[in-house]
Structure formats: structure tokens, C-alpha cells
Amino acid sequence: MLVKRASAQSVNHKVFVRSTKAGNAVKVYREQYLRDDIPCGSQLCTLCAEISVPDAKGDFPVPVLSSAPNSTTKRGPHYVVIDTNVALKAIDLLEHPGCLYDVIVPQIVLEEVRNRSLPIYARLRALTAGHDKRFYVFHNEFRSETHVERTPGESINDRNDRAIRRVAKWYSEHLAKVKKAPQVLLLTNDKKNLELAHKDGINASTLHSYIAEYKDSGDLLDIIPAEESFTKESQTQIYPNYYSSSQILAGIKNGFLHQGKLQISRYNYLEASVHTEAYPKPLLVIGRESMNRAFDGDKVVLEILPKSKWRSPLNNIADEENVDANIAAENDDGQAIVTDEERSILAKDALNAQHHEKVQPTARVVGIMKRNWRFYVGQVAPESVNDKIDSGALRSVFFVPLDKRIPRIRIRSRKPQALVDQRIVVAIDDWPVYSRSPQGHFVRALGEIESKSAETEAILLEHDIEYRPFPKAALDCLPQEGHDWKPGMNDPLFEKRRDLRDLLICSIDPPRCQDIDDALHARELPNGNYQVGVHIADVTHFVKASTPLDAEGALRGTSTYLVDKRIDMLPTLLGTDLCSLRPDVERYAFSVLWELDQNANIVSVEFTKSLIRSRYAFEYEEAQARIDDASQQDDLTKGMRALLKLSKKLKQKRLDAGALNLSSPEVKVMTDSETSDPSSVELKNVVDTMSLVEEFMLLANITVARKIYDAYPQTAMLRRHAAPPATNFDILNDQLRLRGQPQIDLESSKTLADSLDRIQDPNDPYFNTLVRIMATRCMMAAEYFAAGNFAQPEFRHYGLASEIYTHFTSPIRRYADIVAHRQLAGAIGYESLHASHYMKNKLDGICDNINMRHRNAQLAGRASIEYYVGQMLKDNESLQEGYVIRVFSNGFGVLVPRFGLESVVYLQDICNPDEAELDEDTYTLKIMQDGKSRSITVFDTIKVFVKSVKDNKGKRQVKMLLG
């Protein structure tokens, strides 16, 4: 092994003191070693081939820049050097297959991008990793010829720009030595940079004029982000400026300012709340001016308003679409920030607030620490398109995002008319103080609105679900044998596996299940106890930590189930074949083996990696039938009967301990097998064997959780469900009281379960379920966490009434289970645990991601059902029974159990909203309908027309009207 010493001449040694965000002074040591062995990356260059050195594995760097780069209409073969702004703003264009090949990304650009936006950095890195667009990272900071020192008085930005120009200059000089040298073109949108580049004799151009050189550049030009010259000069400022960063730092340190994540209400886009460290209750942010250009999810800095301006939460529904749609996109600027309609909503509300003294601390946004900008899916607002035919000139139009919490975005397009009926994706560029709306640019079109493919993709994009095919690097990690893989192949640890092939193991799953990740067996032992085994697909045998496949799985976090589509977390080869515990084939499993006594108490437990052969893959009903069929007396059936018997005991124990049985309005969309169009909606039904499987999975999860917690007290991957704060139930209990129903008792999960059981309406069997659904919404969400983050009593899983819990049983579709598998393998000494699974900060990162992915996958699943139900209702409007679950001053929320559908009935659609009156104490809305007065209270059963309408903005919504 060759060890080298860095030479003294080339070291650039800096020690400086810097102030941190927290206001402390820190001393930073930074060294930089300059070198001469950084290749230029061009296939033309012979010099660099000699100087390049291999990495730790002995591989030499591969030159990626083509020897015959592309030309444009005006320019011969050329390489492109980009600056930071181009990378940040035009990443979509960089990814576009139609332009920009052979791009040199200076290291300083990569670093700046990394500090400004991690997602864009990841995309840029992906471009440099894949060789198809031939992006090359040139480490200019480390190559002695291209390293530049900051001169006194020079700003960091100027120095970095100079460094980028030096790269362009160096490349053209360096390549001048080869035959048929390509041009080197610097792309920058910065005027000063451009000027200086020209002065230095560097080929430079703006992105816009460069793209215009391409043939058929029209489409490409649409993707170019808005430049500063988006709107006319001399703007009047309509939003307040943000505080300077030093003001913010000082403010936060002194406690005058607060920071937190802005969460905009789903019901009212003018209301947002922010949880801060300083206050137990969230701070309110009300109105556009106070929100001051912040987006949902942004990390914002807040200043508390004077007490006279404190407000109570709004109690009406507001949808930007319905409030102020009639503003032309072209002259959006300089207008009053708050429109008259908005004002009236707020004014009414202020009045309300003073009636009820429920005011809460209210704040305004004075700075943004971190933007949560992402891609937004939506459509062009048709009324903002003025031209009947696309003239080819740039037009400003409004883009309406699907997410109601996101404001309309102004984009520019040359062919807005063509976009009107399309689902499109838009990225945000900026939100200047003089512009009422944020400015963005078109990224791509998904397809026609309401077409299945476009809407499905829209759902996936909106929920940030990675649905693109698995990258090649990930697929390369799969066994080379593919479907022909057999146990024992290239497996050095095969000896450590226990052979359980002789056990009578079977799996019980929903119909047509392909990814079978669990199987069971039970057999009676001579002492009268039972040996019960839960066998989980051994995914981690195939997915080794820190491989590209693992990285992809960790990123996806979970499989996502849409009505007609499954987005897998792992490639199909694993999910449905190699890992899937299919019957009559030998498969690897991770087994938990218990000895249980007659009362299902655990006598002993054992964990082992194993080799199994499942005897049969049952569907729930099939298994039930087999158990019930007394004529079946084979060992397998007997084992299943034992399992069922034990599972009932387990369930009873769990319920006695206070496990909750909560409900959500789950429905299943039946699709026509031919066209996969939705044909009907069914509620899911329940059979005993479902809970059989469930009980043993819970038992396995709990047992494994204990084991990995013992082995890794700081970093065990666990799942907790916090007890809900009593205040969450205040409103529901109040509503129950008015209804004359017993209260929900929050003393413990046991009392809660019991009290839920007591709530019954003899006339309405569904009432109990309804309350359960509403109670579920008052609960906390369960979450994954690393054991070290909480004290042991807080590990408790409230819903399952278990002291400790984890997810172990579905590694094919959940990443948390994969981590648990690896930790268990480490705990039993099968395989050493990878560093990322016992380093707490790494594990915290994993947990945050999978919690988010899990939530998004659920939301996406619901959105998908909603879409299909909407499609199904398109042609069959029907009168349905619904329950009022929430009242507002200008509408009320209704749940229709038949479709598991929830929607809002707007008063303006059924009566004159001005005559309506909301009594907040009794949760009653009094309205005048057809001259008759009618009151609507929470829990009321009402008849509603359910229909699916495509509103005038082209957005399909489920609409309900009073029947």
C-alpha cells in the first residue's frame, strides 16, 4: 500500500474564526492541498491520462468528456462550463436529454450548490455519476493551476466567479494542445461575470442565448427559468423585506424572534401555524402579508405581533381558487397584496375573534431559513390565457397547483394554449417583493388532465414518491443468476443458516398477493407446549448495507400502493421472486421461533437465519375454509388450527392490556380487470385468519424490538405511538356530550378502548365506527425512532398497548424492517452491523426519511382512491347518506361511508351564505334553505348528492350538495 505525504509547498493553511448561526464564535481550521494530478476529463487529452492516479480500489478515472462533442447551429464542437446560478436555476434543463452534453462542473459550483440546495446537489451528482450526459466534475480548487486565492476586498461570490472563469480559461489553454480541440464555452447569466469573461478572452454566453442556438429551441426555451427581466422595471414593493441575517441571528438569540416550520391549514390557505420551541401552542400566521411569501413547509423566522393583533384561528374555509381567481397574470405586479375578497374574509374573522376571546399569539414571517420548494403539479389556469392561438411570444400565465396550500405560480410560456388541458410540472424560481405571486418555470407536461397516467404520475410527484425505474447501479446489486438463483449460491454465511425445510410452513395473505414476506408454522411439542415460528423473507441477504440498492431502498423507504399500481421499494426480482416466500421453493428466511404454552405465554424464544420451504400459500378465506373443514386432519391444518387458537389468546391479552381498535374509512376499489377502470367500491371485510397473521406478526415485532433494544440501546430501530394529549379530544368530547353520549376516557389506552366501546347509537350501527374514525384523527401518528432519542417509558406503542415495538415483518415493502433485520442479525452475531445502523445521527436521518415516506405513501394511496372514486362517480351521480363531521361558518364537512369519501359542502352552493349563522358552542350551523330554516350539527345524518364535477378551472372535484 502506497502512502504519500502531501508536500509542504502545496498546502494552503487557513485558520479563521467564524460566527455560527447560534451566534457563537468558532475557530475553523482549513487546509487545502493543491495538486497536479487532477485530470481534465477529456477523451482527447493525452497528458491527463498520464497524470491520473487510481483510487483505493485501483481504478483509474475514466475521461467522460467526448472526443467529438456536439455542435449547435452557430457553434462548432464545444464543451460547456456552467456557473452556480445556472446549476441552481436550470437543473431541469441540464437534465433534459435535448441539450447540454459534455458539461464541465467546476468543484466550486458543486460546493455552492450543495450549500444552497441539497436536492439540486443530488440531482447534479446523479448527472455526473451517470455517463450518458457526460457531465464531469473538475476539482478546480485542488488543481494548482486553477486554484485562486481571494484577494483583499473581494467578495466570496466574486472570487468564486473568478475561479469559474479561470476554469474556462484553463480548459481552453489546456485543450489547445490537442488536435481538433473543441471550444470551451462558459455559461453564466450574471452580467458582470459575462463582461469579465469576455474581457479575459473567454467564450461566454448566457444560458438563454446559448439554448437559442439549438435547432427547435422553442420547447427548451420554455424550461429556462425566469430571469431578472421577468417583469417591467420600477416595481412597487408589496411585501415587506426579510430581516437581514444578522438581525435574525441576534433576534433568535435574544428570544425576540422564533423559528419553526410553517404549516398552512388544509382548509384555509390564509391561515398557517408554526410550532416553536418557546411556546407550547403553535403560533398563528394569518393573511398573505404576514405569511410574507413563505410556503408550506418552509423553515421560517417569526416575529410576534402586538397583542392587539392577536387572533383566533379562522373558522371558515377558503380556497384561493374561489376567492380571487380573476387577476390577470400579465399585470399581477404592484397590486394590493390583499384583495378585497380576502379582506372581507379576514375582517369577518377579526370580528369573530373579538366576540370569542379565544385569541392566540399571532406572528408574522420576517425571514426564511430554508425553503421547502419542490416540484408542483397542477395546471394552467385557463382564464389567465388570453390568446386564443399560441403566437410563439412569451406570455405570463397562472399555474394552479393541485395542493391547495400552495399559492398560484406565475410562469411564462410561448405556447400557453397548448398547456391548458395538460397536467404540468412547475418549479419555482423566485418570489420577489414586488410580485403578488411566486415566479416559476414550466418543467414538463405529464399528459392530459384526467387521463389515468397523468393523474397517477401527478399523485406520485405531489407526494414525492420515487417512481422512476431502478437505477442501473442498484440493479447491478441483484444476484447475477436472476430468477435462477438458488439458496447456497455464493454465500459464505450459508453454514450459519439453520435448515428448517422440514417444518410445515405456510403463508396466509390477501388474495393475489405476490410479495409474500411472512410465513408461519406451529407444531405441538412433546411437553404439550407449541413451537411457533414466524418466518420473514430474508431481504437483507440480498440488500447489503451501503450498496446502491440499499441506498435506493432507503430513499424510497416504503412501497406505495395505489389503486392500480404498486411502486416497489425493491426491484421486482427480489419482491416477487427471490425474497417472496412462495410455496414449494426453497427460500431464505429470518425466523423467530417461540415455545408458547397453552395460554400463549412465551416460554423461550430464538432468532435464526434459516432456509425454509413453504408448503402452501393461502388466501385469507381459503385458510379459513381449510381450518373450518373438519375433514382436514393433516399436520399442516392442525398446525394452522393451533395458530388460530393461540392467536385468539394473544389477541385477548392484547385487548385486555388496552390495545385499541380504531377505524379509518377504508374502502377498496374494484377495478375492471380488462381496462383497469374502476367498477365499484367495496368496504374491506374481515375474517379470523387475518387477525391470526396479524397477532403473530405483532408478537414477532415486539419480540424482535426487545432483542435489538438490548443489543443496541442507542440506535435500535423502534416504532412508538405516543399517547394523545387530552386536549386533542376536547372538541370531540364536547360534541359527544351534546349528543348525550358517554365521554371518551383518556386515562389510559385501556379506558379509551373501553369508553369507545360504550359509545353506541341503537338506531345507527355505524355511529360507533364514525366516532372511532374521528377519534383516530385525534390520535398522534406512530413514528419510527432510534432508541436513544427517548426515555424507555416513552417507547410505548399506545395503540397496540405494547411497551416496545418495531417493524420486522415486512422487509420487502418497508425499509424500517430492513434496518431491524440487520440489527437483529448483528445482535445474534450472524453478521456484523454496518456503521450506518449503529451511528445515531445516521439512524436519525433514516428514521426521519422513512417517517416522511410512510406518511406520503399513505396520502398517495388515499389520493389514488379519491381519484378513482371521482372517476367512478363521473357518470353516476347518486344520493347518499353522509355524516356531518365538521362545521365552518361558510360550509361543513361530510363523510360518506359508502365511498369512504370526505368533502366539504359550501354554503354558497346551497343557500345564501350571508344568512347562515354558526353557533360554535353547539357546533351548529343555521342556514336558510328555500325559505326554511335548517340547522346542521356535527354527527347529523344527512342526505347528500354526490357527484363528480369538473369545475370551471378544469379541476375535477367531488362535490356534494344537500339532498
Partner 1 sequence: MSRFEIYSPEGLRADGRRWNELRHIKCGINTHSKSADGSAVVEMGASKVVCIVQGPQEPETRSRVREKATLSVSVTVAPFSTTERSKHVTNDRRLQEMSANLQNLFEEAVLTHLHPRTEIVCSLTVIAQDGGLLSCCINAMTLALIDAGLPMYEYVSACSVALFDQTPLLDPNNVEETELASVTVGIVGETDKISLLILERRLGLDRLPPALELGVEGCKVLRQVMDKEVRRHGAMRLASRAE
* Residue 142 Cβ vs partner 1, minimum distance, rounded to whole Å: 4
4 to 23: interface string for partner 1, x by CB under 8 A: xxxxx--x-x-x--------
Return the number of the residue (52 or 691) whose C-beta is nearest partner 1: 52
What is the 3-state secondary structure of 479-520?
CCCHHHCCCCCCCCCHHHCEECCCCCEEEEECCCCCCCCEEE
Give the DSSP H/E element, type plus range, for residue 938: none
Return the number of the residue (127 or 702) whose C-beta is nearest partner 1: 127
Instruction: Give me 298's grid cell.
Output: 418552509
Contacts of 801 (CB under 8 A, 6+ apart): 654, 657, 658, 659, 660, 749, 750
* Residue 791 Cβ vs partner 1, minimum distance, rounded to whole Å: 22
- Of the candidates 829, 850, 843, the one whose C-alpha atom is nearest the C-alpha of residue 788 is 843
Which residue of 34, 285, 291, 636 would you call a contact of partner 1, by CB under 8 A? 34
Which residue of 832, 878, 908, 933 would you call a contact of partner 1, by CB under 8 A? 832
- Is residue 417 within 8 Å of residue 436, measured between CB atoms? no
Return the number of the residue (81 or 211) whose C-beta is nearest partner 1: 81
Return the number of the residue (29 or 765) whose C-beta is nearest partner 1: 29
* Gap between the Cα atoms of 104 and 286, Å rounded: 46
Number of residues that bind partner 1 (CB under 8 A): 49
Instruction: Give me 956's grid cell.
Output: 375535477
Q: Could you give the dihedral angle defined by the CA atoms of residues 846, 851, 855 and 858, in that order, rounded to the nearest 10 degrees? A: 70
Cβ neighbours around 822 below 10 Å, total: 27
459 to 498: interface string for partner 1, x by CB under 8 A: ----------------------------------------
Which residue of 278, 835, 852, 879 would you call a contact of partner 1, by CB under 8 A? 835
* Residue 845 Cβ vs partner 1, minimum distance, rounded to whole Å: 9
| Residue for grid cell 353557533 | 919
* Residue 765 Cβ vs partner 1, minimum distance, rounded to whole Å: 53
Return the number of the residue (31 or 656) whose C-beta is nearest partner 1: 31
Cβ neighbours around 911 below 10 Å, total: 15
Return the number of the residue (28 or 393) whose C-beta is nearest partner 1: 28
Which residue of 16, 30, 97, 932 would you call a contact of partner 1, by CB under 8 A? 30
56 to 95: interface string for partner 1, x by CB under 8 A: xx---x----------------------------------
* Gap between the Cα atoms of 384 and 382, Å rounded: 5
Is 359 a binder of partner 1 (CB under 8 A)? no
| Residue for grid cell 408458547 | 596
* Residue 6 Cβ vs partner 1, minimum distance, rounded to whole Å: 5
* Residue 901 Cβ vs partner 1, minimum distance, rounded to whole Å: 42
Return the number of the residue (110 or 887) whose C-beta is nearest partner 1: 110
DSSP characters for 797-835? Answer: BTTTTBSS----S-TTTBHHHHHHHHHHHHHTTSSPPPG
Q: DSSP state, 629? A: -
Contacts of 406 (CB under 8 A, 6+ apart): 295, 296, 376
- Of the candidates 849, 728, 855, 710, the one whose C-alpha atom is nearest the C-alpha of residue 782 is 855
Amino acid of residue 706: R
Which residue of 19, 23, 51, 53 would you call a contact of partner 1, by CB under 8 A? 53
* Residue 556 Cβ vs partner 1, minimum distance, rounded to whole Å: 20
Q: Strands 667-671 and 678-683, how do they pair?
A: antiparallel
b/e string for 534-570 if b means 16 or more Cβ within 10 A? bbbbbbbbbbebeebbbebbbebbbbbebbebebbbb
Return the number of the residue (30 or 932) whose C-beta is nearest partner 1: 30
Which residue of 838, 868, 883, 892 would you call a contact of partner 1, by CB under 8 A? 838
DSSP characters for 854-886? Answer: HHHHHHHHHHHHHHHHHHHHTT--EEEEEEEEE
* Residue 495 Cβ vs partner 1, minimum distance, rounded to whole Å: 16
Return the number of the residue (18 or 355) whose C-beta is nearest partner 1: 18
Amino acid of residue 480: Q
Return the number of the residue (615 or 837) whose C-beta is nearest partner 1: 837
- Is residue 348 within 8 Å of residue 318, measured between CB atoms? no
* Gap between the Cα atoms of 916 and 933, Å rounded: 9
* Gap between the Cα atoms of 742 and 756, Å rounded: 9
* Residue 618 Cβ vs partner 1, minimum distance, rounded to whole Å: 40
* Residue 32 Cβ vs partner 1, minimum distance, rounded to whole Å: 5
* Residue 31 Cβ vs partner 1, minimum distance, rounded to whole Å: 5
* Gap between the Cα atoms of 259 and 911, Å rounded: 42
Is 278 a binder of partner 1 (CB under 8 A)? no
CA atoms within 13 A on the CB side of 898: 11
Q: Which residues, numbered 92-151, are part of the site for partner 1 (CB under 8 A)?
A: 107, 110-111, 114-115, 118, 125, 128-129, 137, 139, 141-142
Give the DSSP H/E element, type plus range, for residue 205: strand 203-205
* Gap between the Cα atoms of 87 and 956, Å rounded: 36
Backbone phi, then psi, for 426, in 5-degree steps?
-130, 145
Q: Helix (H, G, I), strand (E, B), or coil: what is residue 175? A: helix
Binding region for partner 1 (CB under 8 A) out of 52-60, 168-176, 520-528, 529-537:
52-60
Which residue of 397, 459, 833, 907 would you call a contact of partner 1, by CB under 8 A? 833
* Residue 125 Cβ vs partner 1, minimum distance, rounded to whole Å: 8
Return the number of the residue (555 or 722) whose C-beta is nearest partner 1: 555
Return the number of the residue (58 or 526) whose C-beta is nearest partner 1: 58
* Residue 321 Cβ vs partner 1, minimum distance, rounded to whole Å: 38
* Residue 410 Cβ vs partner 1, minimum distance, rounded to whole Å: 33
Instruction: Give me 680's grid cell.
Output: 365499484
Is 548 a binder of partner 1 (CB under 8 A)? no
Contacts of 244 (CB under 8 A, 6+ apart): none
Is 869 a binder of partner 1 (CB under 8 A)? no
Return the number of the residue (30 or 307) whose C-beta is nearest partner 1: 30
* Residue 136 Cβ vs partner 1, minimum distance, rounded to whole Å: 9
Is 855 a binder of partner 1 (CB under 8 A)? no
Is 51 a binder of partner 1 (CB under 8 A)? no
Q: DSSP state, 213? A: T
Return the number of the residue (139 or 208) whose C-beta is nearest partner 1: 139
Amino acid of residue 236: T
Return the number of the residue (114 or 638) whose C-beta is nearest partner 1: 114
Which residue of 497, 654, 834, 853 would you call a contact of partner 1, by CB under 8 A? 834
Instruction: Give me 902's grid cell.
Output: 370526505
* Residue 66 Cβ vs partner 1, minimum distance, rounded to whole Å: 18
Return the number of the residue (98 or 845) whose C-beta is nearest partner 1: 845
Return the number of the residue (261 or 834) whose C-beta is nearest partner 1: 834
* Residue 544 Cβ vs partner 1, minimum distance, rounded to whole Å: 11
Q: Helix (H, G, I), strand (E, B), or coil: what is residue 667? A: strand
* Residue 94 Cβ vs partner 1, minimum distance, rounded to whole Å: 17
- Of the candidates 34, 73, 40, 118, the one whose C-alpha atom is nearest the C-alpha of residue 212 is 73
Residues in the chain: 963
Is 3 a binder of partner 1 (CB under 8 A)? yes
Return the number of the residue (9 or 234) whose C-beta is nearest partner 1: 9
The binding site for partner 1 (CB under 8 A) comprises 1-8, 11, 13, 15, 24-35, 38, 53, 55-57, 61, 107, 110-111, 114-115, 118, 125, 128-129, 137, 139, 141-142, 546, 832-835, 838-839
